[in-house]
Amino acid sequence: MATAFTNSEMKASLLQIINERNQLRVELMHAKSAIIELENQNLEYDRLLSNALSHLQAYEPKPTVTATPKTSWIGTWQCSSDYPQLAPIEKAWANGWLQKALNQIPAMLDREDLGPHHLINSRLLYSALLQSTGANLQQALANAEEAVTMAVDLRLQELAAKGQFHRALCYHYLGEFANARWCFVLSSSVNESTKECRQKAEENLRGLPEGHSQRSVSADFKFYCDSNVDEFVRSV
């Protein structure tokens, strides 16, 4: 009787183990299905991300080629007719060889046999080239500042205004719209095209939230005018 009871108990235990095993098999099948589903989702996400990256790369601007020299410099500010030494640089840029043009500039700036008009225009051309790369805006601004300083010191009003325009572009690309606006104002004697640029800077300036640091000119901004005028325009 005891042996029969033991056998019955063992049989029940075996049946329980079999049931648990079957249950585990079912759970494993569900888990496997879930894993397969997750893997398929990951593959789909990879496909979507790859497509998105391809589209972004297709629309990403090429830093070594500029689409704007004919309007930003070549069409408006080119000066090789007056300063033939700059002709190879302007020609290289106009043909899309931006890096070649950049490589020729340092030697031009180091020449001591050229007059101030030539040197100022060389600085401004260098600034325009650096603006075109989009990656050296601080250096572009520094060259424009140097050109304006030289022109103001030598009382070359037209070149000073031309320099202010390129200075304004640098500030605008840097997002410093208050500085850009005043530079466009100071360059207004150059030509009528500066009016549109100034209006764009003012639109961007109005779009900044109240209290934004760029809503007013920076502390180190130079107006190149006497102290009374400087204090007045800073308060505007």
Gap between the Cα atoms of 223 and 229, Å rounded? 9
pLDDT tens across 194-227, in order?
556 656 666 776 776 776 665 566 666 666 654 4
Cα distance between residue 105 and residue 100, in whole Å: 9
3-state secondary structure of 11: helix
Query: Which pLDDT score, from 0 to 100, does residue 231 have?
Result: 45
CA pair distance 17, 161, nearest whole angstrom: 93
- Is residue 66 a contact partner of residue 93, using CB atoms and an 8 Å limit? yes
pLDDT one-digit tens code per residue, 4-23: 557 777 878 888 888 888 88
Instruction: Answer whether 0.75 is exceeded by the pTM.
Output: no
Per-residue DSSP letter, 215: G
φ, ψ for residue 110 (rounded to 5)? Answer: -85, -10
